[in-house]
Amino acid sequence: MRLTADAFEKLHHVSTASLTSELLKLGFRNTFMKGVHPLKKGKSLVGYAFTLRYIPAREDLDLEVDYDNLTNPQRIAVEKVEQDEVLVIDARGEVSAASLGHILCTRLMCRGAAGVVTDGALRDYPSIQELDFATYAAGAHGTTSSVLHHPVDFQVPIGCGGVMVQPGDVIVGDDEGVVVIPSQVAEEVAHKCYDRDRLESWIQQKIATGVSIINVYPPNEETKAEYRKWLAEQGEKTC
Amino acid sequence: MRLTADAFEKLHHVSTASLTSELLKLGFRNTFMKGVHPLKKGKSLVGYAFTLRYIPAREDLDLEVDYDNLTNPQRIAVEKVEQDEVLVIDARGEVSAASLGHILCTRLMCRGAAGVVTDGALRDYPSIQELDFATYAAGAHGTTSSVLHHPVDFQVPIGCGGVMVQPGDVIVGDDEGVVVIPSQVAEEVAHKCYDRDRLESWIQQKIATGVSIINVYPPNEETKAEYRKWLAEQGEKTC
Amino acid sequence: MRLTADAFEKLHHVSTASLTSELLKLGFRNTFMKGVHPLKKGKSLVGYAFTLRYIPAREDLDLEVDYDNLTNPQRIAVEKVEQDEVLVIDARGEVSAASLGHILCTRLMCRGAAGVVTDGALRDYPSIQELDFATYAAGAHGTTSSVLHHPVDFQVPIGCGGVMVQPGDVIVGDDEGVVVIPSQVAEEVAHKCYDRDRLESWIQQKIATGVSIINVYPPNEETKAEYRKWLAEQGEKTC
Amino acid sequence: MRLTADAFEKLHHVSTASLTSELLKLGFRNTFMKGVHPLKKGKSLVGYAFTLRYIPAREDLDLEVDYDNLTNPQRIAVEKVEQDEVLVIDARGEVSAASLGHILCTRLMCRGAAGVVTDGALRDYPSIQELDFATYAAGAHGTTSSVLHHPVDFQVPIGCGGVMVQPGDVIVGDDEGVVVIPSQVAEEVAHKCYDRDRLESWIQQKIATGVSIINVYPPNEETKAEYRKWLAEQGEKTC
Amino acid sequence: MRLTADAFEKLHHVSTASLTSELLKLGFRNTFMKGVHPLKKGKSLVGYAFTLRYIPAREDLDLEVDYDNLTNPQRIAVEKVEQDEVLVIDARGEVSAASLGHILCTRLMCRGAAGVVTDGALRDYPSIQELDFATYAAGAHGTTSSVLHHPVDFQVPIGCGGVMVQPGDVIVGDDEGVVVIPSQVAEEVAHKCYDRDRLESWIQQKIATGVSIINVYPPNEETKAEYRKWLAEQGEKTC
Amino acid sequence: MRLTADAFEKLHHVSTASLTSELLKLGFRNTFMKGVHPLKKGKSLVGYAFTLRYIPAREDLDLEVDYDNLTNPQRIAVEKVEQDEVLVIDARGEVSAASLGHILCTRLMCRGAAGVVTDGALRDYPSIQELDFATYAAGAHGTTSSVLHHPVDFQVPIGCGGVMVQPGDVIVGDDEGVVVIPSQVAEEVAHKCYDRDRLESWIQQKIATGVSIINVYPPNEETKAEYRKWLAEQGEKTC
C-alpha cells in the first residue's frame, strides 16, 4: 500500500511528535522508537519499511570480516531495497558491535533508498554523517556486525526500538527520532497531522506573543474560529 | 537431527557448566543463556528446540484477553510442539508482561514436551512451579502477553537470552540455567561432556580430601593415570 | 471506599495474574508492579493503600541513625496506618539503601496492617521473613534508609513499581507479585475475577487430562455449557 | 528566600562543577543531577525551583491528547511559574514519553521563567532548541506525556536527576548539567564559588604556561600570595 | 591487624544491617555490597579479605579451559588464601561468565578459608550450594571465567559490589548480604554492634507486644533504663 | 615497545572501525571501548597507554576537595605521563562523579601527552572541549572525583570501557570512539590497516558511482586488479 504523492509530501513537513498524537487518537500508544537518534541533524526521513532481522551470532556461521554477497541476508537485502524504502534493522537494541557501515549505506543511498534505521549501532559513523542520507541508530561502534549479529531474514515483521515494524509500514524521522505508522492508517494520518501541525504552529506563534494557554492551547471555539479565519486569509483549506 | 538414546540420556547427567566448557573447546563462546532461571529447582531439561518468536505488540493486532487458537501463532505453536521438544520463546528479554501462562504450560506438558524456555516472563508462576514440568524464564509477571508481545512466527531461528537458537538445537537446563548446543555437534558434545563430568566429579572428591589443586586440577599425567585406574576398577570405559 | 466483606474475602482467593486480565478488560494495562517480589512465599496480601513518599536524601535533613518519631514522616506514617491498610512506599525503585526495617514492620503488623509494599529495598530481610506478615520489596539492603531516602509526605498519590497508587486503592499480592486495583472498580473486579479464576482452574484441570486447547481455552459455547453444568453440580452460582 | 542581586549575577559566571565543590565543603555530596543535559549549548540557567511532580499514568485519568488547562496540574503549574523561577519536573527518570513540549516551553519563556529542568524527556526537541530559553532534560521523545505520566501536584519537595529539590532551591545550569543549591546556603555559596572560579581560572592559565601542578594546584601559600597580588593588580577583592 | 577472639566471635552474632548503622555513625556510608547475595541461606561469614582482581579477558592471554596453576593469578591466589581469610573477587560486576567454580571453592574450604565473595557470577552454583561453605555472588553463569575475565593480581585494594575492599578488611556476610569493615575500626565496631543488636532485639520483642514506637524506637531515657535493668537481670554488661 | 615513525603516522590516518577489523583477523574480538566518546569532534588520538586505576572511595581516605600532589596517585600519575602517552583511567564505568577535570587535562596537554581516555566522566567538560587536546569519556559530571573514586595505583593492567588495557598498548581514537591495540601486534596492524583503509576508501568511491556491491565489496580478483592498477597509477605500493 503506497501513499498518495500529496500525503507522502506532507509527511516531510510534519514532526514525529505530532504524528504520535494523531496515532494516539487512533489508539496507538507505542509508535515512537526508543533510543534511536539521527546521525545527521536536519535530514528528514519518509519511506516504506524494508525490514532486516538479526539474531545473536554463532562462531560457525559468523565472525567473517568479508561477507558473501550471494548468501548473506544482510547483503542480499541491501541489493533488494528499492526507491523510497527504508532499511529497518532489528538489532535487538545491541550496540556493542555495529549493524551496518559506510559502504553499505552508500550503496543504499545510490539505490534510491530513503534511509536506514537500526536499534543497534552504525560503524564508520563519522563518514556516514557526511553522506546526504538519512540514517538513524542507537549508537556508534567500530566493530563489524559479525562479532555479535547474525542476519537471518528480511521482509518479515520485526521490532525496532521497541516498536512493531511490518514491511511496508511508513517510517518518518526527524531530529527528534523515528515514528512507525501502520500502513493502513498512514494516508489518513498524513493529512490529519499536516493540519494539526499547521494549527499547532499557529498556536505556538500566538503563545509567543505572550497570551495565556487558557482558551488557546487547546483552542476553544473562539480560537478555532480565529485560526480558520487566518487560514482562509492564507487561501488555505480549514482544519 | 536427533541424538542417539545414549547421548540423550547422558545429557540428563551432565551440568550446563560442563557443557559450556566442551562447547568452548569447539570454539563456541556464547552458549549459556543470560538471565534465564529455572522456576522449579531440581528439574533438569533435555530436548530439541521448537522456536517461537515475539515482537512488540500493536493495539490493532493484540491486547485481547482471549486468544484465537486458529490464528494466533502462539496458540498454533503450542499445538504443534512434539514429544521431547522444548518451546523456546524469543521475548526480546522483555519481562514487563508474561510470555506464557499456566494453562498453556499444562497443555505442553500433556503433549510430551520436554519443557519451556523464555527470555521473557511467565505468569501464574506459583502454579507453574507445581507442575512436574521443566520451565525456565527471566522473570514472573502477572500481565498477559498481549499487552506487550505479538507472536509472529515459529520454527525460525531466534535469539533467546542472548544466544542463537535454531529449530532442532539441543537445549539442556539445570538449576544453573540453560545451554544451547548446535545440533551438528550435540552428539559429540554429549559423550565428551559426560566423560568430563565424571572426571571433574572425581577430581572434586579428591580435592575435598585436602590435596592441592597443583597437578590435580587440571590433572597431570600421573593424576590422569590414577583416574583411569579408578575408572577401570569401577568397570567403566576410560576418558 | 471499602469493599464488601464478600469481595474482600474473594480477593484472598484469586491470583494477581487473573486480576490483571479483568483490569485489562476495563482498559487498565499497567496494574502489576514491576520488580516487586514477596519476601515470604505463600503469604497473600489484600488491603487498602496507605501511601508514603520518599525523595532523595540531603545531608542537612537526613543521615541520622536514630529517627525522630514526632517529626519524621516515615515514623508518623507507621503510627497512622490502620487495620487492613497496606503501607505502600514510593522509593523511586532505589535499592541501594533500605526503605524500612524489621522493627517498623513488626509495629505495622501489631497495628493490624495488611502488609508492606515498596519498590525499594527492605533491611533485616531475614528477620522480616520470620514475621507472619505480608511484605513485598524490590530488594534487600543492609543500609538504613536515611543514607539515600528522605521521607517527605504520606497519603498522597504515588508511583510504586511503575504503577500509580492512590490512597485507598486496593492492593493484592501473591507469590507472583503485587497488583493495584483502582478503588472505584475494586468491588466489581473482585467478583468477576473470582468467577474467572474458578473457570480457569476448571479449564486447567481439563487440559491436564490431555485435551487440546482448541474449543476449551478460551472456551467455546459447548465448553461453557459443560462448565455451567459442573458448577451447578457443585451447588454454585454460574459465571 | 531570594538571593541578593550580586549573588544572583555571580551565579551566571560560575561553573556547575565549581558549585559542587563548594557544596561538598559544606557537606553536600549529591547536588549535581544525573543524566540531565542542556538542549541548547551555551545558554546558562540561574533561577528558583518551582517543582512539578509526575507519577505513572492510569487510563481513566490520563491518555488525553488535549489537556484541560483548568484541572490539569501541569497546565495550572505552567500558568503559576513566575519571573526567575525554573520549572523542575520529577518525571521519575522516565524517558519513554515526553514530560513537556514546545508550546508550554514558549509560554514559560514568555512568563519570564528562567528555564525548564526535567529528568524525563522533552518533545518537539528540535523546535525547543530554537527558543532563546534554558531547557535541560534526560532525553527526547515524540510521545505526549499523558501516555506515561500523570501530573499530580506542584510546589512540593521532589527528586529530579537523583537530587532533592525543594521549592525555592536555587537551580544553576551550564553546558555540563544542573546543580541544586539548598536555599539556605545559596547566598554564601554564590560568593565563595565566584571567588573559587576566579582562582581556578587563574591557576588553569598558569598551568597552561607549562608549570607543574605541584605547589600550584592546589596552591601553596606562595602561589596564593602570587594570586592575591595579581588580583590586587586587577583592582579586585582578595579570595 | 587481626580481631580479638571476642570481637571475631561477636561478629558471628550481629546482622549486616546493624553493622552498616555502626559504620554510618563513624562516617562510612557505603559499606554494604550492592547486588551480592548468599548462595547458601543461613551460613554466616566472618573473615579477613584476601583480594583478587580481574580485568576484561583478551584472546592471546585467556580463553583456556584448563588453567595453569603455576602462572595463573587466580590459581596462585587460591593456594595462598589462609585460615579465616575470605577470597574477595573484583569481577567488575560482570555476570555474563563465571568468576570461580565448584572445585576451587572446595579447595578454599579445605584450606580453611572463611568463604568466597564476588561481584561476578559463580558456576556450578547448584554444587557449590551443597558445600558447607559461605559463598556470595551477584549471579550464576555456566561459562568458565576465561571467556570474559583475566585474573591479573591479588592482595591489592579492589572494589567489590561498589565498595572499597583493602586486603585485611573484615568481611561479614549474612542472608541479607555482605558488609566491609575497614580494618582499623573493626574491633570497635564489633563490640558496639553486638550491643546494638542486643538492644534492637529487645526493642523488637517489646514492639511485638503491641506498644507504640514512640519513646521506644529509638529508646528514650526511660526505655534505656528499662533495658539496662533487663540486661542486668540477664547478668550482662550494660550498653 | 614503540612503533616506527611510519606506523605511528599511519595510525593517524586510519579509522577505529577499520582497526577492529584487522584485529578481528588476528583473533581479537573485543578491542573497541564501549560507551566512550570524544569530547572534541575531529581531534584524533594516537598514543601509548599510561594506566590509572580507581576503586570506590571511602570517607576516611577520600572526599577532599583539594588533593595532595605528593601522595595522591592521580596527581602523581599526571606528573609522570610522558610525551605521546595517553592517560587511560579505569573508572569502573561510574559516571556519577568525575574522574578528571580541566586543570589536570591542561597539565597533561602541556606535558606532551597524546590525550586522556576514561570510562567514567570528565568535569569542566565545556572548558576541556576548548583545549586542543584529545579527550574521551563516558559522560560529564560536575562532581569532583573524590566523592566516588579512590585512585589507587597506576601503570598496572586495567579494564576501560570493557577492554583490557596493558601499559604501553597503543590507543587510537577518532570520532567513533577508542580502540586498544595490544602492543605486540600494533606495528603490523598499523601497516595492514592503512592499506585496508585505502582500499575501502577506493571501494566506497566506486560504490558511490552507483555500481552494485557484488564483486566489489568484498572485491573479487578483477576488482582487486583494478585497484592495484589504480594504486600503481598513484605511484603507491600495492596492498
Per-residue pLDDT at D238 exceeds 60: no
Cis-peptide, bond into residue E151, ω within 30° of zero: no
Interface membership of F126 toward D (CB under 8 Å): yes
Amino acid D67: pLDDT: 84
Measured between beta carbons, the chain E residues lying within 8 angstroms of B174 are 126
Instruction: Identify the CA nearest to D196 among candidates D217, D210, D178.
Output: D217
- For the stretch C178-199, pLDDT in tens is 999 999 999 999 999 999 999 9
Q: What is the pLDDT of residues E16-65, one digit of tens each?
A: 999 999 999 999 999 999 999 999 899 999 999 999 999 999 999 988 77
The CB density around residue F219, as the number of other CB atoms within 10 Å, is 19
**Has residue A134 got a pLDDT over 60?**
yes
pLDDT reported for residue F167: 98
Give the residue on A whose Cα is nearest the Cα of D67: A218
- Using CA atoms of C133, C138, C141, C145 in order, give the dihedral in degrees to the nearest 10: -80
- For residues E173-180, give the mean pLDDT: 98
Contact C159 D56 (CB under 8 A): yes
What pLDDT is attached to residue B64?
A: 79
Contact E12/C at CB under 8 A: no
Count Cα atoms within 13 angstroms, Cβ side, for B151.
26
**B119-123: average pLDDT:** 97
Calpha distance B157→B88 (Å, rounded): 10
pLDDT at residue E235 tops 80: no
- Residue given cell 520483642 in the structure block: E205
| pLDDT band of E234, cuts 50, 70, 90 | confident
Indicate which CATH number applies to the domain containing D93: 3.50.30.40
Between chains, do A204 and D63 touch, taking CB under 8 Å as contact?
no
Segment holding A10, helix H or strand E: helix A5-11
Q: Residue A66 has what pLDDT?
A: 80
Amino acid in the structure at residue D79? E
A41 in B contact zone (CB under 8 Å): no
Range of lowest pLDDT (C20-29, C56-65, D117-126)? C56-65
Q: What is the mean pLDDT of chain A?
A: 95
pLDDT at A238: 46
Claim to verify: residue C35 and residue C58 sit in the same structural domain? yes
- C residues 209-228 closer than 8 Å to B (CB): 209-210, 212-215, 217-218
Angstrom distances, CA of residue D37 to CA of D120, D136, D168, F142 = 11, 5, 21, 12
Q: Are residues A100 and A4 in the same domain?
A: no
Q: Inter-chain contact A163–B57, Cβ cutoff 8 Å?
A: no
Q: Does the pLDDT of residue E239 top 50, yes or no? A: no
Query: How many residues are recorded in chain C?
Result: 239
Distance of CA C85 to the CA centre of its chain: 11
Q: Say yes or no to pLDDT of C237 above 60.
A: no
Residue A239 contacts residue A227 (beta carbons within 8 Å): yes
The CA distance from D213 to the nearest CA of chain A, in Å, is: 36
* Cβ–Cβ below 8 Å for C59 and D156: no
F56 touches chain E (CB under 8 A): yes
Per-residue pLDDT, E40 = 87
Query: Left, alpha or beta for F168 (phi > 0: left; psi -120 to 50: alpha)?
Result: left
Residues of chain F whose pLDDT is less than 70?
236-239
Which position has the grid cell 563519522?
A: A126
Longest dimension (CA), chain E: 69
Q: Does one domain contain both D98 and D159?
A: yes
Verify that C78 and C165 share a domain, yes or no.
yes
Within this chain, do residues C75 and C168 fall inside the same structural domain, yes or no? Answer: yes
The domain boundary, picked from E152, E181, E210, lies at E181
Query: What is the ipTM, given to two decimal places?
Result: 0.95
Between the two ends of chain D, the Cα-to-Cα distance in Å is 26
Report the pLDDT value the prediction gives residue D120, as an integer from 0 to 100. Answer: 98
Closest CA to C115 of C159, C154, C85: C85
E56 shares a domain with E3: no
Chain B's closest residue to A23, CA to CA, is B59
For A101, the closest chain F residue by CA position comes to: F17
Domain boundary among A141, A164, A181: A181
* Residue F208 Cα to chain centre, angstroms: 30
Rounded mean pLDDT, C48-68: 92
pLDDT for the residue numbered B237: 55
Q: Are residues E60 and E166 in the same domain?
A: yes
CB contact (8 A) between residue C104 and residue E213:
yes
D13 pLDDT above the threshold of 80: yes
Q: Does C67 touch chain E (CB under 8 A)?
A: yes
CB C175 to CB B69 under 8 A?
A: no
Q: Scanning every residue of chain C, which has its alpha carbon at the shortest distance from the alpha carbon of B103?
A: C204
**Which of D18, D25, D32 should one mutate to test binding to chain F, selecting the residue with the greatest count of F CBs within 10 A?**
D32
Taking the C-alpha atoms of residue B239 and residue B18, their distance in angstroms, rounded to an integer, is: 15
Mean pLDDT of E146-167: 97
What integer pLDDT is reported at residue A64 of this predicted model?
79
The answer, yes or no, to whether residue A57 has pLDDT greater than 90, is: yes
CB pairs under 8 A between D and F: 84
CA atoms of D154 and D75, how far apart (whole Å):
11
Contact, C164 vs C32, CB < 8 A? no
The answer to whether A124 and A141 are in contact (CB under 8 A) is no
Query: Which residue from F minimizes the CA distance to E157?
Result: F152
Residues A146/A63, Cβ–Cβ less than 8 Å: yes
**Angstroms from D73 CA to nearest CA on chain F:** 32
Q: Does A34 touch chain D (CB under 8 A)?
A: yes
Domain, as residue range, for D125: 30-181
Cβ contacts of A101 on chain F, cutoff 8 Å: 17
**Phi and psi at residue E238, in whole multiples of 5°?**
-80, 165
* In a shared domain, residues B42 and B118: yes
Any residues with CB less than 8 A from the CB of D36 and at least 6 apart, and which? D117, D118, D119, D136, D137, D138, D160, D161, D177, D178
Q: Best of C20, C26, C59 to disrupt the D interface by mutation (most D CBs within 10 Å)?
A: C59
Contact call for residues B196 and B217 (beta carbons, < 8 A): no
Distance of residue E100 Cα from the nearest chain B Cα, in angstroms: 11
Q: How many CB atoms lie within 10 A of CB F212?
A: 14
Minimum-distance CB partner of F79 among D176, D208, D212: D212
3-state SS record for chain D: CCCCHHHHHHHCCCCHHHHHHHHHHCCCCCCECCCCEECCCCCCEEEEEEEEEEEECCCCCCCCCCCCCCCCHHHHHHCCCCCCEEEEEECCCCCCCECCCHHHHHHHHHCCCCEEEECCEECCHHHHHHCCCEEEECEECCCCHHHCEEEEEECCCEEECCEEECCCCEEEEECCEEEEECHHHHHHHHHHHHHHHHHHHHHHHHHCCCCCCCCECCECHHHHHHHHHHHHHCCCCCC
Do F140 and F95 share a structural domain? yes
Residue F66: which H helix or E strand, with range? Answer: none
Whole-angstrom Cα distance, residue A190 to residue A179? 12
pLDDT at position A239: 44
pLDDT of residue A236: 60
Contact of chains E and A by CB distance (3 or more pairs under 8 angstroms): no
Q: Tell me the per-residue pLDDT of D149-174, one tens digit each, with 9 for 90 and over.
A: 999 999 999 999 999 999 999 999 99
D88 and D141 in a single domain? The answer is yes
For F53-76, b/e burial (b = at least 16 CB within 10 A) is bbbbbbbeebbeeebebeebbbbb
Q: E35 at the F interface (CB within 8 A)? A: no
pLDDT band at C40 (very low <50, low <70, confident <90, very high): confident
Q: Report pLDDT for E67.
A: 84
Domain boundary, last residue among A165, A181, A197: A181
Q: What residues of chain A lie within 8 A of the CB of F176, using their CB?
A: 123-126, 140-142
**Who among D28, D150, D159 is closest to C55 (CB)?**
D159
Q: Stretch A206-219: mean pLDDT, rounded?
A: 96
DSSP state of F133: S
**Would you state the torsion angle of the CA atoms of residues F130, F135, F140, F146, taken in this order, to the nearest 10 degrees?**
-110
| Whole-number Å distance between alpha carbons of C28 and A94 | 31
pLDDT score, position C239 = 44
- In whole angstroms, what is the distance from residue B147 CA to residue C29 CA? 7
The minimum CA-CA distance between C178 and chain E, rounded to whole Å, is 22
| Cell triple for B221 | 599425567
Could you give the CA distance from residue D36 to residue D59 in angstroms, rounded to a whole number? 28
Number of domains in chain E: 2
> Nearest Cα to B178, choosing from E70, D48, E141?
E141
Asked whether the beta carbons of residue A177 and residue D104 sit closer than 8 angstroms, the reply is no
Cell for B227? 583416574
Kindly list the residues from chain A whose CB atom is less than 8 angstroms away from the CB atom of residue D140: 176-177
- The predicted pLDDT at position F186 comes to 98
What phi and psi values does residue D178 have, to the nearest 5 degrees?
Answer: -130, 135
Distance from the Cα of C48 to chain D's closest Cα (Å) equals: 18
Question: Does residue D73 belong to the interface with chain C, where contact is any CB pair within 8 Å?
Answer: no
Residues from chain A that touch B28, judged by Cβ atoms under 8 A, are 58-60
Cell numbers that stand for E59 in this block: 584472546
CA atoms of E35 and A39, how far apart (whole Å)? 36
Would you say D147 and D63 are in contact if contact means Cβ atoms under 8 Å apart?
Answer: yes
Q: Is it the case that chain C and chain B have 3 or more CB pairs lying under 8 Å apart? A: yes
Residues B98 and B117 in one domain: yes
Report the residue from A27, A60, A158 with minimal CB separation from B182.
Answer: A60
What is the total residue count of chain A?
239
Contact yes or no for B107 and C207 at CB 8 A: yes
The pLDDT value recorded for residue F238 is 46
What average pLDDT does range A205-221 have in this prediction? 96
On whether the CB atoms of residues D170 and D191 are closer than 8 A, the answer is no
> What is the spatial distance between Cα C86 and Cα D124, in angstroms, rounded to a whole number?
41
Instruction: Write F180-188 long-range contacts (CB < 8 A, 24+).
Output: F180/F31, F180/F33, F180/F49, F181/F19, F181/F23, F181/F31, F182/E58, F182/E60, F182/F28, F183/F1, F183/F48, F184/F1, F185/F23, F185/F26, F185/F28, F186/F1, F186/F3, F186/F7, F187/F3, F187/F4, F187/F7
Q: Is E146 in the same domain as E221?
A: no
Give the mean model confidence (pLDDT) for residues D93-118: 97
**B63 has pLDDT over 90:** no
Give CA–CA dist D96/B96, Å, rounded. Answer: 14
Residue B41 CA to its chain's centroid (Å): 13
Confidence check: pLDDT of B15 > 90: yes
Nearest to F18 by CA among F182, F195, F230: F195
Inform me whether the C-beta atom of residue F200 falls under 8 Å from chain A C-beta atoms.
yes
Helix (H, G, I), strand (E, B) or coil at E169: coil
**According to the model, what pLDDT value does residue D1 have?**
77
* D202: Cβ contacts below 8 Å, ≥ 6 apart: D227, D230
**A contacts of D102 (beta carbons < 8 Å):** 17, 200, 204
Q: Give me the mean pLDDT over the E164-168 stretch.
A: 98
CA distance D20 to chain F (A): 5
Q: Which run of H or E residues covers position A33?
A: none
pLDDT tens-digit map of B66-99: 888 999 999 999 999 999 999 999 999 999 999 9
Name the phi and psi angles at A176, rounded to 5. Answer: -80, -35
Whether chain A has a CB inside 8 Å of the CB on F70: the answer is no
To probe the interface with F, which of D13, D15, D18 has the most F CB atoms within 10 Å?
A: D15
